[in-house]
Amino acid sequence: MTTTELGEEPWAATRDASWYERPNVRSSKHVHVAGRMAPRGEGFMSRCGRSVLDENSAWRPADVPTGLRCRSNGCRQAWPA
């Protein structure tokens, strides 16, 4: 698995919902693998391209339970075996 633009270990996180007026905080969210920097420098995009990630909720990819992992194509290919 390749590293992110930070040049550090690969990492994963939940999406950043801080800019929503009323984010849903009641249920578990999928965890996405970090990819490239977002277009306007808003943070890091997920590998699947679906969301900007919350760097404060970072996980080591190997520690993410299978049931919480994003199953979209880009993230699915980046999870450790």
Q: Tell me: the pLDDT tens digits for 53-71? A: 999 989 999 999 999 999 9
Q: What is the mean pLDDT of residues 1-23?
A: 72
Cross-strand bridge partners of residue 34: 46
Cα–Cα distance measured from residue 46 to residue 38, given in angstroms and rounded to the nearest whole number = 9
Cα–Cα distance measured from residue 10 to residue 2, given in angstroms and rounded to the nearest whole number = 7
Which band of pLDDT confidence, cut at 50, 70 and 90, is reported for residue 35?
very high
Q: What is the mean pLDDT of residues 39-64?
A: 90
Written as six digits, the tokens of 19 are 């800019």
Rg (CA), the chain: 12
Query: What's the confidence (pLDDT) of residue 8?
Result: 65
Model pTM?
0.79
The three-state (H, E, C) secondary structure of 30-81, written as one string: CEEEEEEECCCCCCEEECCCCCEECHHHCECHHHCCHHHECCCHHHHHHCCC
